[in-house]
Amino acid sequence: MTKEIQKSSLKYIVAVAFAVIAAALYLFWAFPYRAALGYREEMQLFQTTGTYFAGFALRPAGIAIYIGEFLTQFFNNYWIGGAVMSLLMVMFGLSCYVICNKFTSGHSKTNNLLLSLIPLTFLWRFFGNQDVTLGFITALLIVTFGTYLYVSTDYDYPSAEKCLRVIVATSLLYWVAGPITIVFTLLIIAFTCSSRQISVGKKAIVATVAILAIIANIYLWSIFITYPFSYQLIGIGYLLTPDVLNSYQLIFEALCVIVPIAAHLMARGNASTKRILPILVLFVVVPAVIRYSKSYDKTTYRLIDYDYMVRANDWEGILRYSDAHNPDLPLSVSATNLALGMTGQLDSRAFDYYQNGTEGLIPPFSKEAISSWTTAEIFFQLGMINSAQRFYYEGMEAIPNYNKSSRAVKRLAEIAMIRGEYKLAEKYLRMLENTIFYRKWAQRNLEQIKDLTAIAPPIYCQLRQRMIDEDYLFSEAELDKTLGQLFIKDPGNDLARQYLILYPLLQRDLDKFVQYMGVVAESLPQYNPLLAQQALAFISMKNGQPIPKNMVSPMVEQSLRGFAQAWTSKNPELIEPHRHTLFHYLISNE
């Protein structure tokens, strides 16, 4: 009776423990790390078609990666995405727990619960690498489920039957889940060896067959698949970067094997061994949780956060984030400038934040997805539609695992509509129609391009009108001239105007600034933002001329005089309050 009560209370404890973990993981992914979900989602374009599935079916781990991509599409909505992530991780924790129970023949379940927290913690840490895909965790779950199924049905079969089971299970798992099947191989060897009912000879046969089976699978698949051998060993699709072996992956996979074996050994051990277990787990799990930021690199995640907000066009969010985190990386500077421009504050507040020259306005092309897409978004908002198209396209082609991108294809469809390339737009929209989250949007737009007389969404009309008429070849060195043309084409293009004014200031080219202000003044004679006043006051003081009171406010004049005094004093303490000003930028060369 007491045992039964203990059993039911243990069940209750297990359920509560995993529920708490699930809730914590949900909060973690749905809130502070929701951008990481968005990052994974934008790095794929999952389609619900047979052709798409066929691309996965004939490679090891293909099925797991396919399921992983299917689940990843739900990251489009971070409420659901957080739940998916949390559920998968908890499922893994539970699978570890039940495998440990099998290894201990149902004894020491409390210990097993504690032990299963170790791989779960390491899995969570491993997912700090933003390039780990859900394909990995899916493969892992398939393998742990396969292991559980195997050990649950591992009766005293004759040797030949046992070997056949091992070969079939290994081959099936290797096809579906890929090289992580090694966890299955090692666990079934350990399980077989731990059995007292099986003879030593039989154990040796099973172990040999298991090892040969996995080696044979690796070799046979390597003949057919068109990837380097090393990729196959790492696991094609486990990470977005198929050529990088992450040491965490190895440690984690080793833990998946060690923990059930440790559970088995501890269950056999004496009472004192069992007592030290909670302390042992505490020493592993607690520091791993506390020091999680070692795996969740701050700099990387800041960039991912910016990328997420740029994608959502959350300009106010970017500015709040920049106020809190002082942007100083090329992507964060350019995203902040874009947000300032989109909220009409760039020509007054640009130097409230760190500036790194004109590259902070429009970064040069780099063969990398998220920085390309941030630059693409700048071009898109400016009305440089051709360049936006190029950067969105190139960003997509730079995804290291050769995936396509839902985010990029959606924007490319919009760009095609803006450019009036309706057949091309239709192609992209038809692809998006084969997705869950973009289907309605795609169908709405397909209807629209069918009926070209229908009124296009205002944003498309506006951007189409902004496109400059003169065609020439893109030049990074002459982007300011293009900004000027954009402004001349559409004087209502606030973003182009602000970028045009800031561009020469970031080059510290005051003559050019005066020239560009003249261009703006032709269309907007009243335009006199704070930065223009500061620049004008600075030029006047530099040339030894009186500051024009009708164009420069007393406050600007006063701040310039304050800066001049501080600068001439060469006292760093006095200069420091002026560090985030145009004056300091112009004079300091920092």
The residue ranges that bind another protein (CB under 8 A) are 47, 49-52, 226-228, 243, 365, 367, 384-387, 389-390, 393-394, 396-399, 402, 404, 419, 421, 423-424, 426-427, 430-431, 434, 467-474, 482
Smallest separation, CB 415 to another protein (Å): 11
CA–CA dist 250, 122 (Å, integer): 11
Q: Is 439 or 580 the residue whose CB approaches another protein more closely?
A: 439
Q: Is 290 or 452 the residue whose CB approaches another protein more closely?
A: 452
Smallest separation, CB 52 to another protein (Å): 7
Smallest separation, CB 425 to another protein (Å): 9
Task: Please say whether the beta carbons of 380 and 358 come within 8 A.
Answer: no
For 472, which DSSP code? -
Q: Is 375 or 387 the residue whose CB approaches another protein more closely?
A: 387
Smallest separation, CB 424 to another protein (Å): 5
- Vertex 471, ends 470 and 474: CA angle to 5°? 125
Q: Is 268 or 430 the residue whose CB approaches another protein more closely?
A: 430
Among 473, 500, 510, smallest CA distance to 361 is for 500
Print the SS3 string covering 61-114: CHHHHHHHHHHHHHHHCHHHHHHHHHHHHHHHHHHHHHHHHHHCCCCCHHHHHH
Smallest separation, CB 399 to another protein (Å): 7
137: alpha, beta or left? (left if phi > 0; alpha if psi -120 to 50): alpha
Q: Is 186 or 412 the residue whose CB approaches another protein more closely?
A: 412
How remote is the C-alpha of 270 from its chain's centroid?
47
CA–CA dist 130, 311 (Å, integer): 17
Smallest separation, CB 386 to another protein (Å): 6
Smallest separation, CB 243 to another protein (Å): 6
Smallest separation, CB 385 to another protein (Å): 8
Q: Is 171 or 434 the residue whose CB approaches another protein more closely?
A: 434
Q: At what angle do helices 458-466 and 479-489 cross, to 10 degrees?
A: 120
Smallest separation, CB 152 to another protein (Å): 16
Among 84, 63, 241, 239, smallest CA distance to 142 is for 63
In sequence order, the 6+-apart residues with CB closer than 8 A to the CB of 378 are 334, 338, 361, 362
Smallest separation, CB 383 to another protein (Å): 10
Q: Is 389 or 498 the residue whose CB approaches another protein more closely?
A: 389
Q: Is 206 or 382 the residue whose CB approaches another protein more closely?
A: 382
Smallest separation, CB 69 to another protein (Å): 14
Q: Is 115 or 385 the residue whose CB approaches another protein more closely?
A: 385
Smallest separation, CB 54 to another protein (Å): 10
**513: buried, middle or exposed (CB in 10 Å: 19+, 13-18, 0-12)?**
buried
Q: Is 336 or 381 the residue whose CB approaches another protein more closely?
A: 381
For 286, which DSSP code? H
SS3 label, residue 518: helix
CA–CA dist 188, 203 (Å, integer): 10
Task: Please say whether the beta carbons of 391 and 365 come within 8 A.
Answer: yes
Beta bridge mates, 132: 239
In sequence order, the 6+-apart residues with CB closer than 8 A to the CB of 245 are 230, 233, 234
Q: Is 80 or 424 the residue whose CB approaches another protein more closely?
A: 424
Report which residue type is found at 435: T
CA–CA dist 401, 55 (Å, integer): 13
In sequence order, the 6+-apart residues with CB closer than 8 A to the CB of 207 are 189, 192, 193
Q: Is 469 or 573 the residue whose CB approaches another protein more closely?
A: 469
CA–CA dist 586, 509 (Å, integer): 9
How remote is the C-alpha of 420 from its chain's centroid?
32
